[in-house]
Amino acid sequence: MYADGSMFHCWGGPAMKFTVDHDDNVVIFTLKESRLDSSNAPDVKAELLIVCQPTISALVVDLSRVDYADSSGLSALLLAYRQLRDHNIPIALVGVRETVRNLFRISQMEWLFGFYPTVEAALQELQTQSSS
């Protein structure tokens, strides 16, 4: 863990690159790879299981570097949704490119998540929602 609270994880196989930061009770998960697919989805799922606890107020997933996702990648995000839905904890997806967003549309999963252009925009909206 770094001094700012972010983490860099590297498990077996290709280096898994993501950070987990906190803004109060909001977890910000940033994938630092261009793909969210079967090659890294198991590691993403494992980390999301750790961070998706009922004590958080929201999960922000920064996918701005991701230009390709497959059903395994969507499955990782669906796992996070299932972990948090019973506690009414929102998930905000950030910087989702159109090719990846189309996969959400085709799979009819788009309505499960909020989509925002930046982490800052997501945090601002989540703050507004929590104060209303």
Give domain status of residue 29, yes or no. yes
Per the CB < 8 A criterion, the answer to whether 68 and 41 are in contact is no
Beta-bridge mates of residue 20: 29
Give domain status of residue 59, yes or no. yes
Residue 27 clears pLDDT 80, i.e. is over it = yes
Phi, psi of 57 (to 5 degrees): -100, -20
Q: What is the pLDDT of residue 6?
A: 45
Domain harbouring 56, CATH code: 3.30.750.24
Q: What is the pLDDT of residue 66?
A: 97
Give domain status of residue 120, yes or no. yes
Give domain status of residue 85, yes or no. yes
Mean pLDDT of the chain, nearest integer: 89
Cβ neighbours, 10 Å, residue 94: 22
pTM of the predicted model as reported, rounded to 2 decimal places: 0.87
Into how many domains does the chain fold? 1
Give domain status of residue 18, yes or no. no
pLDDT category at 64 given cuts 50, 70, 90 is very high
Q: What is the pLDDT of residue 10?
A: 41
For residue 1, what are the contacts with CB-CB under 8 A and spacing of at least 6? Answer: 7
| Residue 57: closest CA among 93, 6, 91, 30 | 91
Residue 11 clears pLDDT 60, i.e. is over it = no
pLDDT category at 132 given cuts 50, 70, 90 is low
Residue range(s) defining the domain that contains residue 91? 23-125
Give domain status of residue 11, yes or no. no
Give domain status of residue 63, yes or no. yes
Q: What is the mean pLDDT of residues 55-83?
A: 97
Q: What is the pLDDT of residue 3?
A: 45
